Structure 1
Amino acid sequence: MTDALDRALFHSRTWLDSLAERPVGARASAAELKAVLSRPLPETGRDPADIIDDLAADTDAGLHANAGGRFYGWVMAGALPSALAADWLVSAWDQNSGMFTVAPATCVIEEVAGEWLKELFALPLDASFAFTTGCQLAHVTALAAARHGVLRRAGWDVEQDGMFGAPPIRVLTSKNRHGSLDSALRYLGFGQAALVDVETSPLGDMQAEDLARHLAGWDGPKIVCLNAADLNIGTFDDFRTLIPMAQAAGAWVHVDGAFGLFARTSARLAHLTDGIDLADSWATDCHKWLNVPYDCGFAVVRDPEAHRAAMALGAAYLSPSTDVRDPADWNLELSRRARAVPVYAALQELGRKGIEDLVDRCCDHCTAIVNGIGALPHAIALNDPSLNQGLIRFERPDASAEENNAFTKDIIQRINADGGAFFSGTTWKGRSAMRVSVVSWRTTGEDVARTIETVRRCLEDAL
């Protein structure tokens, strides 16, 4: 085992040391990766150290350098030093962190880390929480509690009697929502027909008048899902207005804060989240702005009774009293990785002030990238970033909108093939655009300058 671990350490350090200069995007095609990785299932075993050497060599060209400072796609970052090292310990310890009796130390670490995160986000300290694989499963967890809560008020026990025959629930969501909400609701048996789109402004925030109309038009159980920063330009809904309105109509309010919840940690950005603490549940990702390794989501629920009833394996309130928190009572997994351990390490490495600095710095870098690229010929900044998300479009003045959609996609491909930076694309108001998403602790002013230069070079080559 020592030889294999030594080789893994060597290749890990080699990878991390290469991030500053290696091409940011993967270079191998699917066919090329399959050619080297699709070996016959071996009949006999191999030396573990040799396996690790082959893994490092065979995958090198197929890895994105998203842990580096010039990767701006999909709200992805790398891992802080303490979080990465703690994650290695998690693998070495191999604790099944579903119950205290099975994994005492890691379950207590999870309890402490969860309390720290609630304090960091200024959410109700008596709320319950769960660490999940990501924000998608955080939505499932929180919305399962929401389902229990609204049906309980309607006189229906969904854990006992299921969804068949239950009072129909309407889920009022923004047209600007992330697709993970749709899938979470489907997992919970709602069906796409239960979702009702609420109108948004040109910037994508939910309109109070239309929400009021939909709330008044449905007498049954209701859930309202709001955005804490949409994925394109970081727009926040007006929580101070919308949450009391929804709750007055009997709705449970859930907030998708995959990365936007971290605006709560910044003195200059916290106003964007004004009133968010009034909601009934929240979901975020730690593997985004907290920069811990994949995977780690976080769900918070104001009503612990509804949360535990929806998730616990046994009868939620017939268990003997105990001072020990069992993670399995609060999420879908009984067998689970100790994913809170890297969070515990990262929160100590950064501290409250370090997290605020990271968030502010990423927002500044995003603005610099959007403005810098937007000043180039044939580039248009589609927004003035208020957070860490920006949009750029590339246009030829004599081309049609459809031709410029294709031109934008072509420039994105050229940038990613160049290797100097990496961006993902999106569609905004019917037009193709390049997303600028900055969440990495590694991104520097030098990275920003190199990124703008890469885009300038790729634009010149395309014209």
Structure 2
Amino acid sequence: MSTNPFDKPLEKAFSLGTEFLNDLDTQPVGARLSYEELKSLWSWDLPEKGMPAEEVIEELNESAIPGLNLNQSGRFFAWVIGGSHPSAIAADWLTSVWDQNAGLYACTPSSGIVEEIAGSWLKQLLKLPPQASFAFVTGCQMANFTCLNVARNYLFDQAGWDVEVEGFYGAPRIRIICGDHKHNTITRALRMLGFGRNVMVELPSDKDGKLHVDEVRKEFERDHVTPTMVILQAGEIHTGAFDDFKSIIPLAHAHNAWVHIDGAFGLWAAASPKYTHLLEGAEDADSWATDGHKWLNVPYDSGYAFIAHPAAHFKTFTSQAGYLKEDGKARDEYNWTPELSRRARGYTTFAVIKELGSTGIEDLVERCCRHATAIVEGAGQLPHVEILAYPIINQGILRFRNPSAGEDESKHDQFTEHVIAAINASGEAFFQPSTFKGKRCMRVSVSGWRTNEDDVRRTIAAIGEAICDVSRR
């Protein structure tokens, strides 16, 4: 009989984990309990005495399951959240077992090497310049932060201001040009970097949330002197729209601006020959941010930052301390990321790319886009459904119109909310309401590898049943 203290808890975790995954198709996709009910499941006092590790895992699972949204399900469409691939889950478990601090090569040589390999593969998949530097971070929020941090310091340097010596106070003003449909992670990243709302110039976008070159040109004609960041988007969060990279990036560079692309999920369109045209010209940007835990379907948390100017990237984050020994050959991750102590995030990315290969990732992207279109078009044939946006890639928008509301948009908003709630209550699929161009709507976000034709059929049927149910009330 084994006396290894890890055997029982790991066996229990494996058993419960595989049971969870095997039951996905038969369980409600959304969390089943209210906030109050969930709190009651976790209402324990601080324990004075411990308990066997395997019993802790059993208790943890029993309390957590009712409050989990099953984003691993093929019918989870609420946000752009992918369900992890088998190799990624297994690699993530091993990453925890190995328990490596990946901030420094000397701490974990293998972790450093695998990030070098995975980073190179990512640049090839995303059609980014081979000389670009990269960083594995927690998600696109910190990828945007990382890229814009480098951009800020680079622009200060170009303006003759050494921010590392002088700090931020008294520094030259930097202007931020972006579209009015930028993602909130951009606003948060800029705020963390010390930029206030008054330096942001939000330009109007078109009906799909796409920024066009004419608007950017007008702003540079108004002011062609102030150091500038231009922040573009690959994949608007509702429509999946792409900004006009081919025209905007050369214009911005002609005015010595730094161009950043927020491509949390849309950057993955580059992996498909069918959709790569949407990113024409994007390779000429100065930085790019995307997620691994969205369309690549690796476990949380996983994001990637890429910088076209490695020297500026290194200068922004490098630090020296007597106990941080570098050998001069290996890559130390803390020189490229905001973190020092950090999880070894390269293993899951490496595993998925090895499992799928570039052709498998291409198929994943195209399959998700195909299913998104099928759901939007199929639901669009149902009564009282308005299609606000057909998918450009894997995102679409639906709105549900109250048959007795006429032109009262507030009642259509309310009807939309009720239909979404009814779909979620059925357990067949899971969506979230949002607002696009002032209208409440339902986003259809397809980014999980499990979604198949049967999931599409079941989802459309669930939408139809929810509309009938709400209409009868």
- The TM-score range, normalised by the shorter chain, is over 0.9
Partners in 2 of 1:38 and 1:307 — Cα distance? 46
Listed one character per residue, the Cα deviations across residues 394-438 of structure 1 (whole Å, up to 9, x for unaligned) are 002431100000110111111111100001111111100000000
Tell me if structure 2 keeps the 8 A contact 1:282–1:300. yes
Tell me if structure 1 keeps the 8 A contact 2:413–2:440. yes
Partners in 1 of 2:461 and 2:326 — Cα distance? 63
Residue in 2 that maps onto 1:430: 438
Percent identical pairs in the alignment equals 45
* Pairing 1:54-203 to 2, within 5 Å after superposition: 54-203=59-208
Residue in 1 that maps onto 2:364: 358
Residue in 2 that maps onto 1:338: 344
Partners in 2 of 1:307 and 1:418 — Cα distance? 49
1:302 is aligned, of 278, 287, 308, to 308
1:323 is aligned, of 314, 319, 329, to 329
The Cα shift of 1:16 comes to: 0.4
Greater CA deviation, 204-213 or 117-126?
204-213
The Cα shift of 1:216 comes to: 2.8
Partners in 2 of 1:50 and 1:87 — Cα distance? 22
Residue in 2 that maps onto 1:24: 29
Listed one character per residue, the Cα deviations across residues 181-205 of structure 1 (whole Å, up to 9, x for unaligned) are 0000011111222211012112211
Residue in 2 that maps onto 1:406: 414
Partners in 1 of 2:44 and 2:399 — Cα distance? 42
For the residue of structure 2 that corresponds to 1:98, the secondary structure is coil
Tell me if structure 1 keeps the 8 A contact 2:178–2:203. yes
Residue in 1 that maps onto 2:271: 265
Partners in 1 of 2:328 and 2:255 — Cα distance? 36
The Cα shift of 1:207 comes to: 2.5
Residue in 2 that maps onto 1:3: 8
Tell me if structure 2 keeps the 8 A contact 1:261–1:273. yes
For the residue of structure 2 that corresponds to 1:291, the secondary structure is coil
Partners in 2 of 1:392 and 1:201 — Cα distance? 18
Residue in 2 that maps onto 1:381: 387
Q: Structure 1 residues 58, 320: closer, same or farther in 2, change over 3 A?
A: closer
Q: Does 1:224 align with 2:230?
A: yes
Greater CA deviation, 133-142 or 36-45?
36-45
Tell me if structure 2 keeps the 8 A contact 1:68–1:77. no
Tell me if structure 1 keeps the 8 A contact 2:190–2:196. yes
For the residue of structure 1 that corresponds to 2:95, the secondary structure is helix
For the residue of structure 1 that corresponds to 2:135, the secondary structure is strand
Partners in 2 of 1:314 and 1:121 — Cα distance? 32
Partners in 1 of 2:414 and 2:167 — Cα distance? 48
Aligned amino acid, residue 435 of structure 2: T
Partners in 2 of 1:77 and 1:23 — Cα distance? 17
Listed one character per residue, the Cα deviations across residues 353-400 of structure 1 (whole Å, up to 9, x for unaligned) are 000000000000000000111110011111221200000000024311
Residue in 2 that maps onto 1:205: 210
Q: Which runs of 4+ in 1 moved over 6 A?
A: none
Listed one character per residue, the Cα deviations across residues 155-189 of structure 1 (whole Å, up to 9, x for unaligned) are 01112222111001011011010000000001111
Q: Structure 1 residues 59, 321: closer, same or farther in 2, change over 3 A?
A: closer
Tell me if structure 2 keeps the 8 A contact 1:198–1:207. no
Tell me if structure 1 keeps the 8 A contact 2:208–2:389. no
Aligned amino acid, residue 118 of structure 1: K
Partners in 2 of 1:454 and 1:203 — Cα distance? 27
TM-score, normalised to structure 2's length?
0.96
For the residue of structure 1 that corresponds to 2:361, the secondary structure is helix
1:444 is aligned, of 439, 442, 452, to 452
Tell me if structure 2 keeps the 8 A contact 1:135–1:283. yes
Residue in 2 that maps onto 1:52: 57
Tell me if structure 1 keeps the 8 A contact 2:106–2:326. no
For the residue of structure 1 that corresponds to 2:383, the secondary structure is coil
Residue in 2 that maps onto 1:459: 467
Greater CA deviation, 434-443 or 196-205?
196-205
Listed one character per residue, the Cα deviations across residues 31-80 of structure 1 (whole Å, up to 9, x for unaligned) are 11111112101111111111100011111110011011000011011100
The Cα shift of 1:352 comes to: 0.5
Tell me if structure 2 keeps the 8 A contact 1:198–1:206. yes
1:276 is aligned, of 258, 278, 282, to 282
Aligned amino acid, residue 333 of structure 2: P
Q: Does 1:394 align with 2:404?
A: no
Partners in 1 of 2:62 and 2:220 — Cα distance? 57
For the residue of structure 2 that corresponds to 1:122, the secondary structure is coil
Partners in 2 of 1:68 and 1:265 — Cα distance? 23
TM-score, normalised to structure 1's length?
0.98
Tell me if structure 2 keeps the 8 A contact 1:208–1:241. yes
Listed one character per residue, the Cα deviations across residues 281-301 of structure 1 (whole Å, up to 9, x for unaligned) are 000000000000000000000
Aligned amino acid, residue 276 of structure 1: A
Partners in 1 of 2:263 and 2:419 — Cα distance? 30
For the residue of structure 2 that corresponds to 1:32, the secondary structure is helix
Tell me if structure 2 keeps the 8 A contact 1:121–1:261. yes
The Cα shift of 1:321 comes to: 7.5
Tell me if structure 2 keeps the 8 A contact 1:411–1:459. yes
Q: Structure 1 residues 321, 104: closer, same or farther in 2, change over 3 A?
A: closer
Aligned amino acid, residue 40 of structure 1: D
Aligned amino acid, residue 36 of structure 2: A
Tell me if structure 2 keeps the 8 A contact 1:216–1:249. no
Cα RMSD (Å): 1.2
Q: Structure 1 residues 320, 61: closer, same or farther in 2, change over 3 A?
A: closer
The Cα shift of 1:320 comes to: 7.4
For the residue of structure 2 that corresponds to 1:236, the secondary structure is coil
Partners in 2 of 1:199 and 1:373 — Cα distance? 30
Listed one character per residue, the Cα deviations across residues 58-115 of structure 1 (whole Å, up to 9, x for unaligned) are 1111001101100001101110000000000000000000010001001110111001
Q: Give the gaps of 5 or more residues in structure 2.
A: 1-5
Tell me if structure 2 keeps the 8 A contact 1:373–1:456. yes
Partners in 2 of 1:200 and 1:425 — Cα distance? 22
Residue in 1 that maps onto 2:320: 314
